[in-house]
Amino acid sequence: MRIILIGQAAFGEKTLEKLVSKGEEIPAVYCPPDAAGGKIDPIKQKALALGIPVNQPKTFKDPQVQEQVRALNADLGILAFVSQIIPPPVFSAPRFGSICYHPSLLPRHRGRSAINWTLLNGETETGFTIFWLDQGIDTGAILLQKNISVDPDETTGGLYFNKLFPLGVDAMAEAVDLVKGGNPPRIVQDESQATYEPIFGDEHCAIDWSKPAGEVYNLIRASDPQPGAHTTFNGNMVRLFDARLTSSQGSGAPGTVTGIGTDDITIALDGGSLTVKKARGDGGKISAAEFAKQVDLKPGDRLG
């Protein structure tokens, strides 16, 4: 099958590898312009190594770019981790249209931060969806969908790289086979079940130590590795990572440091205790114990 691949980063790169290994014809790869400093995207590096033409338009709204896509006479378009807006003249140009990967069980968690919001809500099951593009945001008919369990201590980074990423790449190949087989699924999303959340940013990541232990913990793992759940100490922002929740009640008010170990710190919560292994202040991410030493954080001190 003749496939146009639009994507970026490692997910786009591995999707390209998978499609080529299956013998699919890739007439062109599209990815964003090179980042400042000349850093080359992995999908671009892989495409060039395979001898596949690479196009890097600033916008797909450019009529010349749209004509270029149409001229490729593709059977299918695939979006594999795309941050640019893809307008109808582009995604409808291939003979069968275009499909896109999304890391949630649509119609739940539409938007660019689906994994973060899944963990923030404390959900124990998620998955991914490959859907047909339309003019909405993650609203197109479903081609393929798979469920994945969420472990209690998983972070956004762990859930993505250990489960959603590798299984999603394999599912992209499966989706292509469904299209090639004829009459592929086009299951209309149930709008009554739809949710949409904004991009998960710093404004969502401030720790409220008065909240129940489970809610605080879900915020920290939802924010790991980016942007990092934050609190303050002596008026300076502190970001916490690589945490674990225990049910044993810590002594002191929620947010109080109850212990400093070899590489971690322990913080009292409302209904449990939090052990934090990594922290970041003005500098880079270091062990929480080393951070405590740098800022003179001691047992009995209260964060926030």
Q: 182 and 35 in one domain? A: yes
Q: Note the pLDDT tens digit of each residue in 224-268.
A: 999 999 999 999 999 999 999 998 876 789 999 999 999 999 999
Q: What integer pLDDT is reported at residue 250 of this predicted model?
A: 67
Q: What integer pLDDT is reported at residue 217 of this predicted model?
A: 98
Q: How many separate domains does the chain show? A: 2
**Is 286 contained in some domain?**
yes
Q: 177 and 222 in one domain? A: no
Q: 145 and 16 in one domain? A: yes
Q: What integer pLDDT is reported at residue 39 of this predicted model?
A: 86
Q: 207 and 78 in one domain? A: no
**Residues, the chain:** 304
Measured CA to CA, the distance from residue 268 to residue 273 in angstroms comes to 5
**Is 39 contained in some domain?**
yes
pTM tops 0.85, yes or no: yes
Q: 98 and 25 in one domain? A: yes
Q: Positive or negative, the Cα torsion across 288, 153, 245, 237?
A: positive
Q: Note the pLDDT tens digit of each residue in 120-167.
A: 999 999 999 999 999 999 999 999 999 999 999 999 999 999 999 999
Q: Note the pLDDT tens digit of each residue in 273-294.
A: 999 999 999 889 999 999 999 9
Distance of CA 236 to the CA centre of its chain: 28
Task: Report the CATH number at residue 34.
Answer: 3.40.50.170
Q: 59 and 170 in one domain? A: yes
Give the residue numbers spanning the domain of 255: 203-295
| pLDDT higher than threshold 80 for residue 101 | yes
